[in-house]
Amino acid sequence: MPEAAALEALCFSSGWTAVQFFDAWTEDWFAGYGLFEDGRMLGYIVLSVVCEEMEVLNIAILPEYRGRGLSYPLMFFAMKDTLEGRHLLRKGKAGEGWTSGYLEVRVGNAAARALYESLGFREAGSRKKYYADGEDALIMTIDVEHFRTAEERRSKGRAERRNVTVHAH
């Protein structure tokens, strides 16, 4: 998907190439989702699901659309879809979703940390000097119970919706 690779290059200094995205989409462990408005990709998320463990590999939103509440519905949809194993069903495979998951986030990225906590992730550790610039990464983990609790909170207090759609790939 060229749009994801272009957004990746815009948001990350050492991101995936279009070829890497294409190759990953053919793998059973890979799940990718795009957030679109009027046919334009505003963001994407990619996850890995192996042996019932989910890893959030990357999430990106166009810089001019950040801070507008778009990451939550994108990430929520992707996590729910993979939890229920639908990412595999679309590939013609039977399979299970995840029972636990994790991600790494920059210690200094307070907005991302707040997003992840709102989805049920909890701090679990750190990786010293994980990023190329020497910044530490915070490891955050989640289980199904914490995600379901976040899902219940979401259904009780839905925010105003934009006219955006999430597409699974």
* Catalytic residue numbers, as ranges: 104, 116
Query: Which residues are CB-contacts of 5 (< 8 A; sequence separation ≥ 6)?
Result: 15, 16, 17, 18, 20, 21
Phi, psi of 76 (to 5 degrees): -60, -50
- DSSP character at residue 105: E
Tell me whether residue 108 is exposed, middle or buried, using C-beta atoms within 10 angstroms of its C-beta: 0 to 12, 13 to 18, 19 or more.
exposed
Contact 55, 78 (CB under 8 A): no
For residue 1, what are the CA distances in angstroms to 34, 66, 120, 126, 169?
A: 10, 21, 29, 32, 9
Can you tell me whether residue 95 is helix, strand or coil? coil
